[in-house]
Each structure stands twice: as structure tokens, then as C-alpha cells.
Amino acid sequence: MEEYKCKIATKEELIKKHDYEIAKHPNDQKWEEFKKISLNNFNTRVTYIGLLNDDIITEATAIISNDDLDMQNKENLIGKDIAYLTGFRTTKEYEGKGYFSKLYKFMENDLKQRGFKKLTLGVEPSEVRNIQIYFNWGYTNYIKSDYEKYPEVEEKEPEKILVNYYSKKI
């Protein structure tokens, strides 16, 4: 029987996960940049992972400090009792099976125990399925819209994406 468990990632688990993604996407240098950002901000973020038979199949990150070096558009998204959620990922073959929902509940409970009273997140307007999920989870309070830049890669102009930000009280 498969065993799924949720936990907070150690630095070693984060390195292993990023190295796996880098190997899986050899021609996409963004993964190298994501690894660097994750490790540079290890003390201002909490990364949650879902393990199925010891393989990481889901992940999400909570930015928990204004001191985070790489968070964009911080105003009204993070604060003393406000955490910003980002980096939601599920391995393709496990999407739609409820694993991420379990990880999300684990993350929300942990952040509540840490004293956070509000959670925020951002979503691209074209991600209709995700918007519906987030509304279902209670993210119905619109905060603002702004542009985020994906990490620069090889002197290319960083990709800019429009993001709508929402919050919920916990």
C-alpha cells in the first residue's frame, strides 16, 4: 500500500528536489535559478513536501518574512502575521488525486500554529482551474494585480507575467 506523508523539507531534501528538477529539465536554466533562490532564502521560507513512498510528489512554499531577498510585490502580501504561499507543484502523474489538497491542509495548519492569521497567494488570470481551486479554499479577497518577472536566464530579458493576488483569513 502506498503511504503519503506531508512534512517540512530539510535543506538536504530541497537540494535533492532541485537537483532532480535540474536533471529533468537540462535545457531550462530557470531550475538552477529556482534552486539558488530557494537556498538563499532558506531562513525566510518554509517549504512543505508530500512524500509518496519516500518520493517527493507535491511541494509548496510559504514565505514567512519580509526579509526574503527574492519575493516580488511584497506590499500587502506579507507581514508580521501574513504569509505568502508560492511554488505549488505536483508531479504530473499524481495531479487530480487529492495529494496536493492534503499538503495544503498540512501547510495551513502549520502556519496557523506559527501564529499567522492571513495567507496570500498569486495566480495568473489564465490559470482558470487554479483560480477555482483557490476560491474553493477561501481565497476570495482580491488584493491587487501586478507583474512578476521570471528569473533571468543567459542575458535574455526576464519574462513578465501578470499576477492577481488574493488572501484568506485562517
Q: Which residues pair with 149 in a beta bridge?
A: 160
Q: What is the separation of C-alpha 37 from the centre of its chain, rounded to a whole number of angstroms?
A: 12
Q: What is the pTM of this model?
A: 0.90
Q: 160-169 and 118-123 as β-strands: parallel, antiparallel, unpaired?
A: antiparallel
Give the tens place of pLDDT for each residue, 89-125.
Answer: 999 999 999 999 999 999 999 999 999 999 999 999 9
The domains of the chain are located at 4-169
pLDDT at 2: 73
Q: What is the separation of C-alpha 51 from the centre of its chain, rounded to a whole number of angstroms?
A: 16
pLDDT at 149: 86
Give the tens place of pLDDT for each residue, 120-162.
Answer: 999 999 999 999 999 999 999 999 999 998 765 555 666 789 9
Q: Which residues pair with 84 in a beta bridge?
A: 63, 120
Q: Which CATH superfamily is domain 4-169 in?
A: Gcn5-related N-acetyltransferase (GNAT) (3.40.630.30)
pLDDT at 156: 63
